[in-house]
Structure 1
Amino acid sequence: MRNTAGWMISAAIGLLSWALPAQTGAAPRTGYAAPQGTCDGYPRLDIGMAPGFCAGLIAGPTAADPARPLRLPRSLVQLDETTWLVTDLGSWGSVNGAVWKLQSQPGQASVLTRLIDGLNLPHALALDPDGLAYVGEMSRIFRFDPQAENPVDTIETVIAGLPDNRLHDNRHPLSKFVFAPDGALLVNVGAPSDQCLDAAGLAPGKTCPESDTGEQAGSIRRYAQTGPGRWSGDHTVHARGLRNSVALAVHASGTILQGENSYDFATRWAPFDEINRIEAGRHYGWPYCADVATPTPGWRSTAAMACGSAAHTAPVILLPPHAAPLDMLWYQGAMFPALDGHLLMTWHGYRSVGGRIAAFATDADGMPIADTAPRYPVYGGSARPYGRGPAANALILTPGWGKLTGTRPQGSPVGLAVARDGAIWTTDDRAGLIIRIAAERP
């Protein structure tokens, strides 16, 4: 089966070559062994999967063919049975980003076509009921018609004036957005720093301006809908005290959840990342509080916030420390009935708890259900207890995605999508892969 897999990948790259710009000074980055066998018709990647699941390669480099057409793939949506859109950051701190069209069928070479390039860190991607594609760049949200003969000609800015957060001035420059139940656009504004401390590691005042005031405060903005396909140019701050809301999702019940990438403390085991239920007017604690009610070291001596009080909205469940949630959705599909209604989430973190796709059981409102003795997995060690606060035992779909020299790097999943056939698609930006998780079969 190795020769079949190699032919599929090589043919795909051959079809791509006319559309790719020159990559000066960019050596191909590989790390995955050549696929062995197939996963539901696609070359099988050597990723340890939960029983009943397998991982198939849609596009990206392996030892069979190290060519890397997608530089940093992030989000993806399905247009029809065989066609997808994919955002590609290109490279950090540049305008090398792109939107690609991907055509893929089992047993055939995938074909990528660059639709739009010259973008500034494109990340979020969504479709509206009319089939228009919405893309979040660093400083705006735009839409276009992916079916047009020349999609570039259909680009229209929807939301302008988002913070132009240069990478090295701001740790969280990506624009994530979701459509609220009332039609408003909710847009992430990542916090301008990790902990809002000065050069000496001290609180710069009685409160943090990066949390409580200013256009670049870590928050979720709300842009009210003014008509079909139109939104106000002004915004209100829907929720604040959020370090980075790249994982943001709206349940059919109206529940809005956020996956919080918490502080970059040096210790491996603190603080916990979070899932927060987003409600208007709430403050979720950044940079004053961590976990459920723990003051952060840099702000402990101030009276900025009483972390155990109603001023701080505590998370609904804790996530492993440094898991780095980057996307989530509720599964609805025919391929995996046991996952129906589960909250799926990518953990992008590079430490030993990252590199996973997790699934949480939820209630009727889409809220993860806490367990009485929750533990979280660790590559190279035993599962660890959370020890405090509400948390849940996740079903890890990719328990064997840690680094294995000569076989694979540790996974770094970003975007999630459920295909019409119920398969789960994801991107791995560090490896440049698009992966299809399917039921275990050849």
Structure 2
Amino acid sequence: MTMLRTWAVAAMCLLSVLPCAARERYAVQGASCDGYPRLAIETMRGMCAGLVAGPTVQDPARELRLPRSLLQLDADTWLVTDLGRWDGSRGAVWKLRTRPEEGATLERLIDGLHLPHTIARGADGLVYIGEMSRIVRFDPTAAAPAETLEPVVTGLPDNRLHTHRHPLSSFVFLPNGDLLVNVGAPSDQCDGEGSRTDAGLCAESEGESDAASLRVYPRIGDGRWSQEYTVLARGLRNSVALAMHSSGTVLQAENSYDFQSRWVPYEELNVIEAGRHFGWPYCTATSNATPAWPDRAAWCRSDAHATPALLLPPHAAPLDMLWYDGAMFPALQGRMLMSWHGYRSVGGRIASFAVDARGVPVPDAHPRFPVYGAGFRAYGAVPAATPVVLTPGWNRSAGLRPQGSPVGMAIADDGAIWVADDRAGVVIRLATDE
């Protein structure tokens, strides 16, 4: 199957949601996982996967359509963003209440959202949501949370599926309260009609739209942010995976180009520095020009191109990353966790990396990456690092599980790792296996 056909099948599954998802569900097996129904996901030693909410082989009822990100409110209460569908304003925010051995209840708090993805608690105690073209906030403690919904940042690109390849909005709060917001690239390689400026550069990223960039919206006090932004960095194709370490380092995990080859291009992990250009659409990996921009080869090899801090496996599709700071898994303390959402044999995993004082993964001398059905494969390129995989058996197994499609992660107060699997419509809890 060609990549184009594979992508089309995946897109149809996402658009229809239920028919494709219904073909593969997780099976619940045997003893519980720390009080939750145990799922047939193979995990690292001392860990198990429990079902919090979502359909299974035994109970196919499905409420969450495309769950993406998670936020804990208290010991028993979480918020979940749900894209709903990839077209129209069908997204939602759910309140999820759960206790071990008592099951979960879902309450739809807010409806009618456009592709809600990122969710975060602000310093003001309000909850902030990244929608397709804006960032909004609401009060989760209000009697009617939906009535408190208000815009914070507006005027982000009003992206539409099939006319804009990367429509989701992600953000982080900077230490001074400013909002750092991603704007994805409209296309794969900026190679369509009218794609070049008079200077021979990509009109999408170097033009007035400032696409494929990270924007800073300054906080101006009284719970308000300026609608005038500055561009912090350019040349970033898709910055859905965006995180800030406690040291202040901002990291971006790049979903790279849609080349047909299974083994190229590598995804990237970038340390964001103000004013730098990270290569899209001209460069791939550390110094290679893309097929659409061979005339930029010398530029890609120059210091003007900010090269990746780490190469990641090809088509892994990293969608979230965080640093583990819980008590449940001492061996993971301080390590970076990263969700790999890709549908190919490298995806369907949660990977873990040792990091330096800035929170940046430490490269290996002989890095390798995992491939379902083929063990570990040598990168053949640097810098890269061999991950410890928390979920080594999350590939498709008929009757037991679909291939994992992890998106957002969160560390619970008790140290458990919560994960949203959007294609299967489930929320999963990784906990100690006693």
Shorter-chain TM-score range = over 0.9
SS at the partner of 1:338?
helix
TM-fit CA distance, 1:180: 1.2
Amino acid at match of 1:144: F
2:134 is the alignment partner of 1:134: no
2:404 is the alignment partner of 1:411: yes
TM-fit CA distance, 1:131: 2.1
Q: Give the aligned partner of residue 302 of structure 2.
A: 309
Listed one character per residue, the Cα deviations across residues 118-161 of structure 1 (whole Å, up to 9, x for unaligned) are 11100010001332100001010000001100001111100011
Amino acid at match of 1:346: S
2:186 is the alignment partner of 1:192: yes
Amino acid at match of 1:415: G
Q: Give the aligned partner of residue 103 of structure 2.
A: 109
TM-fit CA distance, 1:336: 0.7
CA contact (8 A) 2:17 2:423 kept: no
SS at the partner of 2:408?
strand
Percentage of identical aligned residues = 61
Partners of 2:213 and 2:205 in 1: CA distance = 7
Partners of 2:296 and 2:94 in 1: CA distance = 49
Listed one character per residue, the Cα deviations across residues 314-348 of structure 1 (whole Å, up to 9, x for unaligned) are 00001000000000111101001111111111000
Q: Give the aligned partner of residue 386 of structure 2.
A: 393
CA contact (8 A) 1:222 1:235 kept: yes
Amino acid at match of 1:261: N
2:256 is the alignment partner of 1:265: no
Q: Any gaps of 5 or more consecutive residues in structure 1?
A: 1-23
Amino acid at match of 2:317: A
Q: Give the aligned partner of residue 49 of structure 1.
A: 43
Q: Give the aligned partner of residue 176 of structure 2.
A: 182
2:413 is the alignment partner of 1:439: no
Q: Give the aligned partner of residue 155 of structure 1.
A: 149
Partners of 1:424 and 1:34 in 2: CA distance = 19
Amino acid at match of 1:31: R
Listed one character per residue, the Cα deviations across residues 348-372 of structure 1 (whole Å, up to 9, x for unaligned) are 0000100000111011111111111
The normalised TM-score by structure 1 is 0.91
- 1:334–1:307 CA distance, 2 compared to 1 (3 A): same
TM-fit CA distance, 1:32: 1.5
CA contact (8 A) 1:249 1:328 kept: yes
Partners of 1:132 and 1:203 in 2: CA distance = 42
Q: Give the aligned partner of residue 8 of structure 2.
A: none
TM-fit CA distance, 1:405: 1.1
Q: Give the aligned partner of residue 361 of structure 1.
A: 354
Matches within 5 A, 1:30-45: 30-45=24-39
TM-fit CA distance, 1:225: 1.2
Q: Give the aligned partner of residue 172 of structure 1.
A: 166
Partners of 1:182 and 1:359 in 2: CA distance = 29
Q: Give the aligned partner of residue 13 of structure 2.
A: none
TM-fit CA distance, 1:229: 2.4
CA contact (8 A) 2:197 2:207 kept: no
Partners of 1:160 and 1:348 in 2: CA distance = 28
Listed one character per residue, the Cα deviations across residues 196-250 of structure 1 (whole Å, up to 9, x for unaligned) are 11269x9787211112122251111110111152211110111100000000000
Amino acid at match of 2:363: A
Matches within 5 A, 1:242-321: 242-300=236-294, 302-303=295-296, 306-321=299-314
- 1:203–1:209 CA distance, 2 compared to 1 (3 A): closer
Q: Any gaps of 5 or more consecutive residues in structure 2?
A: 1-15
- 1:213–1:146 CA distance, 2 compared to 1 (3 A): same
The normalised TM-score by structure 2 is 0.93
Q: Of 368, 371, 376, which residue of structure 2 is paired with 1:378?
A: 371
Q: Which moved more, 1:123-132 or 1:204-213?
A: 204-213
Q: Give the aligned partner of residue 212 of structure 1.
A: 206
TM-fit CA distance, 1:304: 7.6
SS at the partner of 1:306?
helix
CA contact (8 A) 2:289 2:297 kept: no
Partners of 1:70 and 1:25 in 2: CA distance = 10
Partners of 1:77 and 1:372 in 2: CA distance = 37
Count of equivalent residues: 416
CA contact (8 A) 1:203 1:298 kept: no
Partners of 2:137 and 2:280 in 1: CA distance = 31
Partners of 1:361 and 1:180 in 2: CA distance = 24
- 1:47–1:231 CA distance, 2 compared to 1 (3 A): same
SS at the partner of 2:312?
strand
Amino acid at match of 2:359: G
- 1:228–1:357 CA distance, 2 compared to 1 (3 A): farther
